[in-house]
Structure 1
Amino acid sequence: MASDLLSIGASGTRAARSALDVTAQNIANASTDGYIRRTAVMEEVAGASGFRKNDIALSGVRVAGVNRNADMFRQAEVRRTNSDAARGSTELNGLSDIESAVEQADVYSAIVDFEGALKQLGQDPVDPSLRAATLAAADTLASKFNIAANSLDAVGQGEQFDASAEVDQANVLAGELARINQRLARAGAGSTDQASLLDQRDLMLEKLSGITNISTTFATDGTVTVKVGSSTGPALVNGGNATSLAMTTAADGTLSFDVGGTAAAVSGGSLAGHALTLQEVATFRGKLDTLAVNIADAVNTAQAAGVDLDGATGAPLFTGTTAATMTLATTDGRAIATAPAGAAAGSRDASNLTTLSSALDTGGAANRMNSLLFDISSRVSGRQVTSEALNSIADAARSTLQQQSGVDLDQEAANLIRFQQAFQASGRAMQVATDIFDTLIGIG
C-alpha cells in the first residue's frame, strides 16, 4: 500500500495541529481591527495502490491552505458607504462651524441697533449724544461684519488645513498599499503570510475610502489597483507604485484635486466634505459681502444727498468693499448728514435722515441678514438628517460584513474541541498502528 496506518495517523495530527493554530489565531485576534476569520482547508491525500495499476489508496490528510472568510462584495459596500458617511459627517461639521461663525458675530442685532439709532437721532438731529450713539452703532455694525467675515475665513482655513492633512494621510496609505502589493506578489497562495497581507490591504482600503471615494480592481494574486473616483479616474496605486494625490486651493478658497497632474473627481470621503464646506464658505462670504456693501452704499448715497451739522455736503460714513474691510470713516458725530441739501448749518430738518432710514428699510438689510441666518440653519438641519441616514447605512453594511467575516467565539470554542479530538484520534490511530506492528513482530 502507498501509505501505512502510522503515516496516515501522523498526517491527521499535523492537519489537526494546523487547524488548532488557525483557531487560536482567530480567538486571539477577535477584537483586532481589520482581522478576517481564517479557516484551515483540509484535503485528502491519495496515493497509488500497491495491488493493481491505476488503483487509488487514501493516504491521509493535509492542509491545502488557509482561507480568509472574506466577501469582496460586502467589503466594497462597506468602503462605499464609509466614503459617503465620511463626506456627510465632514460637511455637517463644516456647516455647523459656518453657522456658529455667522450667528456669534450677531450682525443681525447690529443692523437692528443701527436702524434704531438712526430713528432716535431723527427725533433730535442736533443732539450730540444721539449723534455719538449713532456713530457708535455704525462702528459696531462695521465691526460685526468684520468679525463675521474673519470667522468665516477662520472656518475656511481650518477646512483647508484638515484637507491638506488628509491628502498627506491618503498618500501614506497609498504608499503602504503599494508595499503590500509588492509583498503579495511574492507571498505563497493560501499561506498565513498572504492572509495577513490581505487583511492589511483591506484595512488600508477602508481607511482610504474614508478620505476619498475609490475604485478598486483586484488581481488573482491579491494585489489591488486603486483609482480615485470612478473606474476611469487616475490610478493612485498600481502594482508596487503609488502616485501622489495633490490639492490645489483656488482664490476663493475652494479645492480641487489631482493625481500625478491628472484631475481627480473627488465626490466621497472627508476630502469631498471639506471641498463642499469650502464652497459653502465662499457662498456665504459672498452673500455677507454683498449685504455689507449694500448697507454701506445706501448710507453713503444718503450722506451725499444731504448736509452735515456744519452745512457741508455729507461725506461717506463707511469705507471698504467687503464685509472684512468695512470700516467707519469718521469719528465726528457732526458728520452725519441729517438735513437735506441746501439746508443751513445746525438745521433741525431731519428729512435726509428719514430718506436714509427708508433706504435701509427698502433694502431690507435686517430681513436679508435674517434670511442668510435661516439659510445656514436650514442647510445644517438638512445635512444632519442626511448624515444620520448615511451613518446608519454605513453601520448596517459594516455589521453585515462583521457577521459574515468576523470571529464568532462560540464557534471557535467548538472548533477547539473538534480539532483537539481529531488530534487525539489521530494520535490514537498511531498508537494502534504501533501496537499492531509490535504484535506482528512478537508473533514472528
Structure 2
Amino acid sequence: MPRQMHLVAYLKTGPTALHGGGWRHPEATLTDILEPSRYEHIARVLEDACFDGCFFADLFGLYDIHAGSHAAYVGRGGQISFLDPMVVLPIMARATSRLGIGATLSTTLFNPYHLARTLLSLDVLSKGRVAWNIVTSATDLEAKNFGLDALPAKDARYDHADEVVEACLKLWGSWDPDAFIHDKASGRFADPDKVHYANYVGASVRTRGPLSIPQSAQGHPVLMQAGSSERGRQFAARWAEVVFAAQAGQAEMQAFYADLKGRLPAYGRRPEDCAILVQTSVVVGETDSIAREKAAFLDALAEEELNVAATSSSVGVDMSRYREGEQLGALQGTQGMQGSVDLLDQMRRQGNLTVTEAAKRLLPNQIVGSPTTVADELEEMFTSRACDGFVLTPNTFPTSHESFARAVVPELQRRGLFRKAYAGKTLREHVREG
C-alpha cells in the first residue's frame, strides 16, 4: 500500500489555539467554550474526515511570564485551558467510535500510578483510542501550582520522565489480556495468577502496583511527545510513537526528520515505529486570492502584545524585558522549550529579523490557498520526507478544522495520500497505517 499521511488536530479548551487573533474572527464561537456540545461537534467533524486523532495542548496554570503578569493572556484571549481536558475527552469519546483522543500530562507534576490509572481507564472506556502527550513541563508557574519552588533542571526532568514512562508501562501490564474467566457456575471471576505487581524501583520513581484496571483494546495509550532538544530527541527515539514537531522551513523539517528517525534503531525500534507530524495551520479559500484575503484579515486581528506574550511563555523568557544581543539560554534558567527557541531562531534567520522582531511574529508554517494549493504544499512536505503527516492547529474554531475537513481532505484522498475510511479501530492501528 502506498505511504499515506497522518492528520492530528490540535485543540484547546479555551478561546484560541496558536493564532492569537483567532477568537476575534466573526466565525469563531465563544459562548460554547464551556459546553459539552462544542467538543462533541468537533470530534464528529474530525472523525467524519478520518483524522487519526486529536489532542489537547494544556498548561497547569495561567501563563504569567510576560511582564510578570497574566494580564496579556486573560485580557487579550491567549491560550488558556478553561477546562481540564481529561474531563472533556470522555465526552468526545462517547460521541465517536474511531477518532483518537489525547491529553497533555506532565511527568514532572504527576506520579506514575496516577498517570497510569487515569489514562488507562479512559483508554479502556474508549476502546483503545487514547494518546498521552508526554511533557516534562516548561514553566515555574506550573511547578509552584504543585507545591514546588521551581522546575528541576531540564536533563533531570527527562531522566525522571524516563522512569515515569517505564513505571507506567509496568503498571499497564498488570493484567494479562486473558485474565478474566467470568464463570458464574464455578464462581471464578478472574485468574489471580494473571495479575502482576509492578514492583518498579528507579532512582527517583517507585511504585508497587498492580493497577486494578485491565489492558485496553490497544494494550496501553499511544505515547506522543514534542521535545526537540538533544535530550528530548533521545527521549522521543526511545518512547514516542507520535512526535509533534515544529520547524520553520522544509530543510529544517527534513533535518529533524532524518535525525530522529536515525536514532530509533539504537533503541531497537524501526523508523516506521515513530510518526513525525509537523505543526501546520491552514487558511483555505475558494481560490488562492480569496485565501490570501482571508489570511490577511485574520492576521490583522492578532494583537502584537499577545504574540510577544506567547513567545515569552514558550521560550521561558520575559520578552518585554529582553534586550537585543542577550542570549536566551542564559536567561531561561530551567524554563522554556528548546524547540521554541530553535523555531524563533529559524524565523529570525529566514526573515533577517532581530530576536525582538521575530518574537512579534505569528508562528510560521501557515499554508494559504485553494484546496488544490494547500494539498500541493502538504504533499510536497510529505513526499520529500520532511514529515509523516501534520498536526493541524486551528486559526478559528471550529471553522478552521471544518473547512479543512470539507475542502482539503477530499483532495488528499483523491490523490491517494490519505485514508477514505479507517482500517482499524484503535489509535495505535491508525498511526501505524501507511
* TM-score normalised per structure 1: 0.21
Bigger share in helix: 1
Which of 1 and 2 has greater Rg? Answer: 1
* TM-score normalised per structure 2: 0.22
